[in-house]
Amino acid sequence: MGFSRNDHLFDSKEFHERFYTAVPLGVFLSEEGTVFRLWAPTAQSVTLRLYLRGDHCTVSEQFQMSLWKKGVWEYKTDRLLRGVYYDYMLIVDGESFCSADPYCRACGLNGERSMIPDPSETDPEGWGADTSPAKPDCDIIYELHVKDFSWDPNGGFFDRDRGRFSALKQEGTTLNHSGLYPTGLDYLKRLGITHVQILPMYDYGSVNEAEPEKGYNWGYDPVNYNVPEGSYSSDPYNGAVRIRELKEMILQLHRAGLRVIMDVVYNHTYDLESPLFKTAPWYFYRQNEDGSPSNGSGCGNDIASERSMCSRYILDSVLYWAEEYHIDGFRFDLMGLLDQELMEQIRRELDARYGMGEKLVYGEPWSAGPTAHRPGTILCHKGNLKQIHEGIGAFCDDTRDLVKGSVMDVDSVGFVNGNPIPAELLGKCLTAWTGEDGVFRNAGQSICYLSCHDDWTLWDKLVYTMDPKKDFCGSEAVILQANRLAAAIHFCCQGRLFLHAGEEFGRTKGGVKNSYCSSAEINQIDWTRAWKHEGLVDYYRGLIALRKQLPWTKDLSEQGKQRLLWVENETPFCALACVNNEGADSLWDNLLLIFNCGQTLVETKLPEGKWQILVDGESSFLWKEEHSISGSCSVPPKTAQVLGAKRRDLS
């Protein structure tokens, strides 16, 4: 594979007009037989090869494909080739490429050979009647990894299911099979979240599916975009099994009242040995001036999303997952590498098919470095968010770093671990960085979070900056206190709320910053720790339940910012904000938010009237109690207080 520069050709109007096509691509079964179609516009010949298995075996049959039109190669047969495995042999500029089908929807072991799935073997019982839970008016997104969720042997999962799709559908699991402390799906339901965002669960390249117990990766290294990952299935050799088991998982999550968001990585592939490259060398990839692959992803290559057939490929893939797997939303990895036209087309198509805003669409508004995109392309990075469709959300790193410190520097601190809390910055956090001087058009675009799979967990960051002993597995009172304070600030912000799995019980990775290829033991959900820190979990549970009752936090409109009535400093380390919480069935017309990030108790004068304490530094369930205070309140160091009042109780 050479480094000749092809972008002038592939970006040209002439190439688009000659080779762009909307004809369906992939393999299609009907009563008339089977049709294979592959877009390979620069190939001189394409040979279809059939196999009896999806792992190592010899070719059973092969057929020369015909160049049809618009760069599409086709082969038709009256045979119904259900369950058959296949690949392609292409000759491009005299060089031979053996490739899986980039449009395949099933595959064999490690994605090396594509498969034609039999629908009767891939849809579980009840799949046809599956519907998503009702769209919530308050989104609480919980990010988890399939293997992390059930790898801990103390989690109470069946051994055969640990690390697999099937563990996420189990009910009744408890810590060490004790029957006392719920784990797994029951734990998620008890927590009160509304969505699970699952780290990449398509076919990825860094784990050997033949020995999945020996490997670990987050999965940000795509191979086959439209196929579930085999290492999460009970039989990676049979292409139908991984499909059925993923659908069974989604079906059970929906029945549990949880919507499912898919983490998708369309900005790069595992390497240049991908089906996209082999079937159309360089077309799907951006190139530098010297012809080398662009590397804005930091993973060795960048997908050229602005090219018409590449854009179509990504759109088709998203729509396929939404339709075939009933996916409720999409989180785009390094969305700052993808172009505005593509992302807005995805938003429009999902809205047209499923209803306005029914499917969530959001991503990371940054990249790992500069990318060699086509001149004039508008990318979906942070600086462009205000000109992008308001239905496309993005992670808000400003709130993340202000609350706990920058992820770029282990010693950097934020509000809860050492910095003052200026009223002006608190106001920006609370209103999701919207308005003329903000990042977002409205709060609905903001994915408000404190930690995710990337970088240090919230707990580990707090330990690094607050615990001289660096005891990550401990339970220091000062760290627990800071964690509760961070959560209180987080849950009082407008926007869509996002949690990293285990953040609510002080999840630690032993200080490892980016554990993408660390062991499963480093990454696993520690279910013993979840119950050791039951008090912290309950604090999150109370905040989740309260947030769902607050019109202030659920107002995602451009006018939502106006609900902030005033914000001021009591001390440099203590700030107060008063917000309008009026709405249908609201129990409190006004909220008073007090965050004392300092080391000393603060006596705060309250606005005139009667106020109910809803949350303090120890409990987030005080809103269930009937009592009121007036005059003033004492706010202990490193704690938050949230108070509410009815208009009739205010002077």
Angle, alpha carbons 78-79-80 (nearest 5°): 120
Is position 503 annotated as part of the catalytic site?
no
Angle, alpha carbons 337-343-345 (nearest 5°): 150
Q: Which of 333, 397, 504, 555 is catalytic?
A: 333
Residues 164 and 186: beta-carbon distance below 8 Å: no
**Strands 72-77 and 66-69, how do they pair?**
antiparallel
Please state which of the ranges 1-10, 83-92, 441-450 shows the lowest mean pLDDT. 1-10
Question: Which pLDDT belongs to residue 481?
Answer: 97
Q: Return all residues near 324 (Cβ < 8 A) that are at least 6 apart.
A: 105
Q: Which residues of 609-638 are buried (b: 16+ CB within 10 A; e: fewer)?
A: ebbbbbbbbebbebbeeeeeeeeebebebb
Q: Which of 101, 316, 364, 616 is catalytic?
A: 364
pLDDT (tens digit per residue) in 78-123: 999 999 999 999 999 999 999 999 999 999 999 999 999 988 889 9
Domain with CATH 2.60.40.10 in the chain: 7-122
Domain 7-122 has what CATH class? mainly beta
Question: Which pLDDT belongs to residue 25?
Answer: 98
Question: Which pLDDT belongs to residue 4?
Answer: 62
As a whole number, mean pLDDT of residues 7-34 equals 94
Residues 618 and 629: beta-carbon distance below 8 Å: no
Task: Please give the structure tokens belonging to residue 44.
Answer: 């001189």
As a whole number, mean pLDDT of residues 436-457 equals 96
Residue 593 has pLDDT above 60, yes or no: yes
Residue 464 has pLDDT above 90, yes or no: yes
Residue 2 has pLDDT above 60, yes or no: no
Residue 192 has pLDDT above 70, yes or no: yes
- State whether residue 337 is helix, strand or coil: helix
Residue 289 has pLDDT above 90, yes or no: yes
Question: Which pLDDT belongs to residue 469?
Answer: 93
Domain with CATH 2.60.40.1180 in the chain: 562-649
Average pLDDT, the chain: 96
What CA–CA distance (Å, rounded) separates 29 from 117? Answer: 9
As a whole number, mean pLDDT of residues 395-405 equals 97
Is position 364 annotated as part of the catalytic site?
yes
Task: Please give the structure tokens belonging to residue 566.
Answer: 């005033």
pLDDT (tens digit per residue) in 203-224: 999 999 999 999 999 999 999 9
Fold classification of 562-649 (topology level):
Immunoglobulin-like (2.60.40)
Residue 637 has pLDDT above 70, yes or no: yes
What CA–CA distance (Å, rounded) separates 267 from 557? Answer: 30
